[in-house]
């Protein structure tokens, strides 16, 4: 019995199907993802997959929620580790955001792709709210925050700059023209300038 089928019989088919989305989307693009293709990759019947997700849109909604939660987890653990070790928290969180995008392009692309998901799904809304709320709290607690319920100018500048840079690193001309090491070097410089602008504490 394959490891995939073992995971299925242990009740982890949903997670296995979501990993299949990641694998297929990373190799062929999100458009290539179907429930049948994911079921085949996992090694189960299409009927088994449809018992967990009613259609492709539901599958991609769960995948997007997973991506949002994983990014929030990454930023949270990065901030905590940076504080423990005395690192620059703003720099650490910014680089973690960028690294997440470059290392997990399928997850990064899926997060806000509302045309392919059920954007009113409760789990998706909870995941999106968690990430947005975390970034409202002083860009993951790395800059001064007087109102954790709303974006300040500096919080919005930090998120839009890092997210925009991540987009450029994952897709578009910069993605094609620059090697990963060059992107990281550029990111270091941009984050230093951004930190000064955002008055990081």
Q: Are residues 81 and 29 in the same domain?
A: no
**pLDDT score of 7 more than 80:** no
Quote the pLDDT of residue 135.
93
Cα 137 from Cα 140, distance rounded (Å): 6
Residue 24 in any domain: the answer is yes
Average confidence score pLDDT of the chain: 90
**pLDDT score of 159 more than 50:** yes
Residue 159 in any domain: the answer is yes
Q: Are residues 83 and 171 in the same domain?
A: yes
Average pLDDT over residues 132-141: 92
Residue 58 in any domain: the answer is no
Q: Are residues 105 and 187 in the same domain?
A: yes
The CATH number of residue 28's host domain is 1.10.10
Q: Are residues 89 and 43 in the same domain?
A: no
Q: Are residues 13 and 73 in the same domain?
A: no
Q: Are residues 141 and 116 in the same domain?
A: yes
Q: Are residues 140 and 45 in the same domain?
A: no
Percent of the chain with pLDDT over 90: 83
Cα 127 from Cα 147, distance rounded (Å): 21
Residue 183 in any domain: the answer is yes
Q: Are residues 72 and 132 in the same domain?
A: yes
Query: Confidence class of residue 4 from pLDDT cuts 50, 70 and 90?
Result: very low
65: closest CA among 25, 27, 136, 15? 15
Cα 196 from Cα 201, distance rounded (Å): 10
Neighbours of 143 (CB within 10 A): 22
Cα 18 from Cα 118, distance rounded (Å): 16
Query: Confidence class of residue 144 from pLDDT cuts 50, 70 and 90?
Result: confident
- 59-107 pLDDT tens trace: 999 999 999 999 999 999 999 999 999 999 999 999 999 999 999 999 9
Domain count, the chain: 2
Residue 60 in any domain: the answer is no
Residue 131 in any domain: the answer is yes
Give the range of the structural domain holding residue 169, as residue numbers without chain letter. Answer: 65-198
Residue 59 in any domain: the answer is no
């Amino acid at each position: 019995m394959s490891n995939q089928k073992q995971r299925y019989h242990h009740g982890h088919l949903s997670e296995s199907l979501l990993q299949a989305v990641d694998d297929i989307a990373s190799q062929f693009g999100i458009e290539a993802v179907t429930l049948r293709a994911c079921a085949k990759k996992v090694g189960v019947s299409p009927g088994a997959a449809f018992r967990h997700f009613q259609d492709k849109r539901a599958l991609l909604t769960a995948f997007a929620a997973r991506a949002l939660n994983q990014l929030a987890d990454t930023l949270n653990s990065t901030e905590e580790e940076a504080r423990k070790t005395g690192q620059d928290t703003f720099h650490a969180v910014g680089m973690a955001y960028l690294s997440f995008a470059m290392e997990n392009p399928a997850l990064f692309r899926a997060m806000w792709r509302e045309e392919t998901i059920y954007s009113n799904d409760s789990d998706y809304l909870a995941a999106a709210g968690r990430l947005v709320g975390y970034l409202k709290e002083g860009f993951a607690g790395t800059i001064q925050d007087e109102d954790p319920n709303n974006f300040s100018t500096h919080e919005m500048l930090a998120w839009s700059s890092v997210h925009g840079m991540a987009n450029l690193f994952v897709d578009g001309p910069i993605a094609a023209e620059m090697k990963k090491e060059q992107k990281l070097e550029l990111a270091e410089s941009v984050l230093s300038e951004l930190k000064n602008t955002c008055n990081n504490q």
